[in-house]
A and B are shown apart, each in its own frame.
Chain A
Amino acid sequence: MTELEAGRAQALVPVRSGAVLQRYRDVLIALIAFAVLASLPLFTGSKALLDFVIRCSAYGLFATSLNLLVGYTGLTSFGHGMFFGLGAYSFGLIMQKLGLPIPAAFVATLAITAVFAAIIGAICVRLKEIYFAFVTLAFQMLIHSTILSWASFTGGDQGLRGGIPRPVFLGIDLSNHVHLYVTSCALLIVGLLAMRQIAQSPFGYTLRMIRDNAARASFLGIDVWRAKLTVFVLAALFASMGGMVMALFVSGAYPEFAYWTISGEGIFINMLGGVSTFLGPMVGTVLLLLLNDTVTRFTEYHGIVLGVVILFFALGLRKGLLDFVAEWYAHRRETGEER
């Protein structure tokens, strides 16, 4: 082995084992996070706290999936909330009208979402920035108004009422609060782990290339349209999962789940937490829900307070909370290396 080859081999080993190690590390973190969350009911009887975590699961799945589009691919969707609503309504309707077992309804809802996302995505992802944003918003309003006007099927502005049946499956009874809580946590962790895998896969790096320089990516032989459509559908699936958690939580589905404000909140969460790190949206979710809950307790003008907060982040900081932490960490490591 020549000196050059030896040096190369040395440089290469960390590349490979690094990627594998990273995967084990992620799984380990996920297991610990799940263990901590799932054991929470053993230490506290607070229903409010468990409810808070369930809502974080629903919104966290949704917001993180939006980050796959906004942060990783540079596709700013203003209509991502439609898949949250679609998930909640499809799941609720399947359970109410067909009475399938919950896992079957879960899979069927994902399949329905995939079909809708593929059709809507095929139309939208060709469009550039602002047009993409507004056409996705238009589709969201289309779905919202369909829900409102097709009252005989969807319950119109009253939403899906009468509760969603929750038959026991595999010993899991989702009408039991703790069972519902642990299931929500499990869905959150599995969803996050799957999205993390997508973000760190070769496809995830294809998305980054498209975000940075789509024209150059196509000169490397990448089919940009197909990659964008793929991530659009994948992100929709996780948003739909979030919608299903929400539907299970409130035992119903309401038109607000499909309204544009959900998409707006998703964008807001991403701005709060930051889009440059994988867990930014998760941090943003916790922040937004905390803010929402505390502010509404003190004032009925909570919209004003939230507005001020978003202005502070958007104009004052120009990045999310976790972006700051990541930058600080990177800076510290750099100066550490130089020393």
Chain B
Amino acid sequence: MLEIRNLAKSFGGVKATNDVSLDFPDGSLTAVIGPNGAGKSTFFNLITGALKPDSGQVLLDGIDLAGRSPPEIVRHGIGRAFQVASIFKSLTVQETMLAAVSADQRTSAVLHKRFPLPETRDRAEHVMELLGLASKRHRTAAILSHGDQKLLDIALALVLEPKVLLLDEPTAGMGPEERWRMIDKVRELWETQKITVVFIEHDMDIVFKIAPKIVVLCYGRILATGTPDEIRNDSAVIDAYLGTEYAGAAA
């Protein structure tokens, strides 16, 4: 279980994350939404160690990870993918996966053996199959399509076998059809891998369709949390973010 307790971070006078407390039970799927500048990415950066929080706790199964370095936090089981695909452009898909497994198995400093180590193969292979990248294994990451680069980014997080997977806008920069394919993939991963998934998303149709639970951030604060129906009918959310377009749209 991932518990966020009173997390806060300011940049100068701007409170990017302001006293945020949230629970993400094991195996839950949660969408984080909010207007631009609401502090969604900052929230992820605080959890994963990219930024140090000013105060508050990030508890994973009771262990406080707040303020620790990214490598430490990853090793405790919080993996992430990025808004702009963050990959290794000169490595092939397969090399990327094998090297990531090596890092997770703490063999990334081994000098006397040849890459790849035999014990890294099964996991790399499994995740490539899972994300449909196996047929592109010998492609260099730089020449992959935008969608495949995003998948590779997610594969990098997933291959570490995290307990919690944070996806920062998995559908960013994609066309409508590709978006649905990607989000179906995310949902499938959540269902089959039985991990806790938290994702940031801008497309309300997607969010309301697939997320059992939604968190709305605004000016660094939690504006509302709840099921899609609760969020859709929350007057504060409608005023701040949704407008009337989505209000009671299901009705």
Contacts and interface: CB of A to CB of B under 8 A. Distances in A.
A12 B88 contact: no
A205 B125 contact: no
Contacts of B94: 15
Given A12-B125, A206-B109, A208-B90, A220 B74 contact: yes
21 contacts: A11-B134, A12-B125, A15-B94, A19-B116, A22-B114, A23-B114, A200-B114, A201-B110, A202-B113, A206-B109, A209-B88, A211-B90, A212-B90, A215-B86, A219-B48, A219-B80, A220-B71, A220-B74, A220-B100, A220-B156, A222-B103
Interface string A194-224: 0001101111111011011101111111110
A202 B99 contact: yes
A16 interface: yes
A107 B29 CA distance: 58
A15 B134 CA distance: 14
A20 interface: yes
Nearest to A23: B114
Contacts of A201: 110-115
Nearest to A8: B125
A40 interface: no
Contacts of B90: 208, 211-212
B195 to A, nearest CB: 17
Q: Which 8 pairs of residues, A with B, have the shortest CB-CB distance?
A: A212-B88, A19-B114, A220-B103, A206-B108, A205-B99, A221-B74, A202-B110, A216-B86
A11 B115 CA distance: 16
A221 B103 contact: yes
A190 interface: no
A220 B155 CA distance: 11
Interface string A15-53: 110011011000000000000000000000000000000
Contacts of B113: 201-202
Interface string B105-140: 001111111111110010001000100001001000
A227 interface: yes
B106 to A, nearest CB: 8
Contacts of A11: 125, 134, 137
Given A213-B89, A227-B108, 17 more contacts: A11-B125, A12-B125, A22-B114, A201-B114, A202-B102, A205-B115, A206-B102, A206-B108, A208-B90, A208-B99, A209-B99, A211-B90, A212-B87, A216-B88, A220-B103, A221-B104, A227-B109
B75 interface: yes
Contacts of B102: 202, 205-206
Given A202-B117, A206-B103, A213 B125 contact: no
Interface of B: 48, 50, 69-71, 74-75, 79-80, 82, 86-91, 94-95, 98-100, 102-104, 107-118, 121, 125, 129, 134, 137, 156-157, 160
A235 to B, nearest CB: 13
Nearest to A222: B103
A202 B75 CA distance: 19
Query: Which DSSP category, helix, strand, loop or mixed, fits chain A's interface?
Result: helix
B142 to A, nearest CB: 9
A15 B98 CA distance: 10
Interface of A: 4, 8, 11-12, 15-16, 19-20, 22-23, 197-198, 200-206, 208-209, 211-213, 215-223, 226-227, 230
Nearest to A337: B138
Most buried by B among A20, A22, A212: A212
Contacts of B116: 15, 19, 202, 205
A227 B50 CA distance: 19
Most buried by B among A23, A208, A211, A227: A208
Most buried by A among B80, B91, B137: B91
A190 B107 CA distance: 24
B48 A19 contact: no
A8 B113 CA distance: 23
A123 B110 CA distance: 24
A123 B50 CA distance: 23
Most buried by A among B99, B116, B157: B99
Contacts of A221: 71, 74-75, 103-104, 160
A12 B137 CA distance: 11
Contacts of A198: 111
A13 B160 CA distance: 23
B87 A213 contact: yes
A224 B94 CA distance: 22
A23 B116 CA distance: 12
A91 B50 CA distance: 45
